[in-house]
Amino acid sequence: MHWLALSPPEAEQAAWGWHALQYTPRVAVVDEALVLEVSGSLRLWGGLPRLLSLFFEQNKPLNPVDYSQGSTSLVAIALSRLKAHGPVPTAGLPDNLPLATLSAAMPHVDTLARTGCRTWGQLRALPRGGVARRFGAALLQALDAAYGERPEVYPWLTLPEVFDVRLELPALATGGPELMWTAQRLLVQLQVWLRARQRGVLALELEWALDLKRLDGVALPSHQQLVVRTAQPAQDMAHLRRLVGEQLARVQLAAPVNQLRLRSLDTAPWVGASRGFLPEDAVQGERLHQLVERLSARLGEHNVVLPQAQADHRPEHRQHWQPARTHTPQPLPLSEPDALLPTWLLPQPLLLTLRGNVPQYGGALVRLTQAHRIVTGWWEPGGHTARDYFIARSPEHGLVWVYRDRVADHDRDRWYLQGLYA
């Protein structure tokens, strides 16, 4: 058996455990340490040096930690404790290990020291019956496990189905940007969880707890939330960090915040990035959907829009604008050749004046084509449309696109300018 004992910060202990599960299924939290039994995985990873190299090279999001190794988990934990306080013995292990490094012996260290017993080997040399009667059977069981004479059974860690982690803020936050430091720590742990589960995140929720129940006599909710979505599954936190930062910058906190929680709402299987063999396939910079999402978060969704084609004969209804972040355009075929349409449509049709029943726009318009009639929209309340469209020539403005309204209630025709030709 070969065990590793890590000493990560308490806030990152779960993330280190998820990272370790990618290399061995036998991972547990014992006292203050995270222990891994790796003997069953050494052949898979190419030996212990190779496993250690991969294990610590692929933990880039997490802070570096110290580790110790031993034939049992308790030996590895004892060496880890010694490493934190001074030099570590390299010979006579585990007999020369101090009793204070064995958790089960800690309550009895002073008593045993008065009898001249200060190391694991000296304790093991005492009569077992007397040790059991004086200090309890648990001490002997721990000592047997430490020497590999008793199986070590722990509640092994498993990957949760949903990422849900909360952290206390180091100080009360009064604005959205102040939450970003803690949010970054949570995003690092989210990345570790996503890698371990081979998933990419599509939606996540930030929830913060308010430190006050009432403010100026007004009752406050206990929490506030922010949902962040991305168009494609993501494992790289650089893009999500920008999205979260942009949206937190726009958040108004109802009261000071003391706790932040991050939860995954939607994930998808991670397929990795597709790469080509040719140099031109290696596109530099961020992807289009990432740019759209970042601008939408910064400027507001309704300020970053794209056109969506519609199957409609009315020119003003052939497209509508909607938020680009939440929609992918699907072009629809037009009912007439594009060559007959103007290159520019007016936002609103312009009512033209008439002289002798001839529409005027920079002078009298001369019709160049026969009428192109559109009759549609009768199924919509107030949407009935009947028009005759013409391409006409204006003395001052060149080719224009005009129509005659055939449903208006008036004594004579009404003409409108709707488009211009370049």
User: Residue 334: which pLDDT band, with cuts at 50, 70 and 90?
Assistant: very low
Residue 158 within any structural domain of the chain: no
Q: Return the bridge partners of 351, or none.
A: 416
193 shares its domain with 250: yes
User: CB of 415 within 8 A of CB of 371?
Assistant: no
207 shares its domain with 122: no
Q: What is the DSSP string of 282-350?
A: S--S--HHHHHHHHHHHH-GGGSEEEEE---SSGGGSEEEEESTT--------SS-GGGS-SEEEEEEE
| CA separation for the pair 21, 27 (Å, rounded) | 7
27 shares its domain with 123: yes
- Domain end among 220, 242, 269: 269
Domain that holds residue 354: 338-420
User: Residue 257: which pLDDT band, with cuts at 50, 70 and 90?
Assistant: very high
Does 192 or 339 have the greater pLDDT score? 192
Residue 363 within any structural domain of the chain: yes
CA-angle at 97, arms to 92 and 100, nearest 5°: 175
Residue with tokens 């199924």, as numbered in its chain: 379
Phi (first) and psi of residue 334, to 5 degrees: -80, 155
Residue 300 within any structural domain of the chain: no
Size of the chain in residues: 422
**pLDDT value, residue 341:** 81
Q: What is the pLDDT of residues 362-400, one digit of tens each?
A: 999 999 988 888 888 778 777 788 889 999 999 999 999
Residue 203 within any structural domain of the chain: yes
Residue 124's SS3 state is: helix
Q: Which two tokens stand for residue 216?
A: 């100026």
Q: At what angle do helices 180-197 and 237-248 cross, to 10 degrees?
A: 150
Ranges 42-51, 213-222, 260-269: which has the least confidence: 213-222
107 shares its domain with 202: no
Neighbour-count burial of 225, counting CB atoms closer than 10 A to its CB (0-12 exposed, 13-18 middle, 19+ buried)? exposed
**pLDDT value, residue 331:** 54
Residue 317 within any structural domain of the chain: no
182 shares its domain with 132: no
User: CB of 2 within 8 A of CB of 39?
Assistant: yes
Segment 294-323 mean pLDDT: 75
132 shares its domain with 207: no
User: CB of 72 within 8 A of CB of 154?
Assistant: no
Number of domains in the chain: 3
Ranges 258-267, 299-308, 413-422: which has the least confidence: 299-308
**pLDDT value, residue 107:** 93
Residue 39's SS3 state is: helix
Q: Which amino acid is at 346?
A: L
Q: Specify the pairing of strand 214-215 against strand 67-70.
A: unpaired
Q: Is the pLDDT of residue 310 over 80?
A: no
Return mean pLDDT, the chain.
86
Q: What is the pLDDT of residues 37-90, one digit of tens each?
A: 999 999 999 999 999 999 988 877 788 898 999 999 999 999 999 987 777 777
97 shares its domain with 170: no
CATH number at residue 252: 3.30.1490.100
**pLDDT value, residue 68:** 92
122 shares its domain with 170: no
User: Residue 422: which pLDDT band, with cuts at 50, 70 and 90?
Assistant: confident
Q: What is the pLDDT of residues 219-254, one digit of tens each?
A: 888 899 999 988 888 888 888 888 898 889 888 888
Residue 233 within any structural domain of the chain: yes
Residue 322 within any structural domain of the chain: no
% the chain with pLDDT above 70? 89
Q: What is the pLDDT of residues 140-162, one digit of tens each?
A: 999 999 999 999 989 999 999 99
106 shares its domain with 180: no
Segment 93-121 mean pLDDT: 92
Q: Is the pLDDT of residue 304 over 90?
A: no
Segment 164-174 mean pLDDT: 92
93 shares its domain with 15: yes
138 shares its domain with 31: yes
121 shares its domain with 189: no
Q: Is the pLDDT of residue 280 over 70?
A: no
pTM of the model: 0.69
**pLDDT value, residue 189:** 93
CA-angle at 317, arms to 315 and 321, nearest 5°: 120
User: CB of 223 within 8 A of CB of 209?
Assistant: yes
**pLDDT value, residue 42:** 92
Segment 321-343 mean pLDDT: 64
Residue 249 within any structural domain of the chain: yes
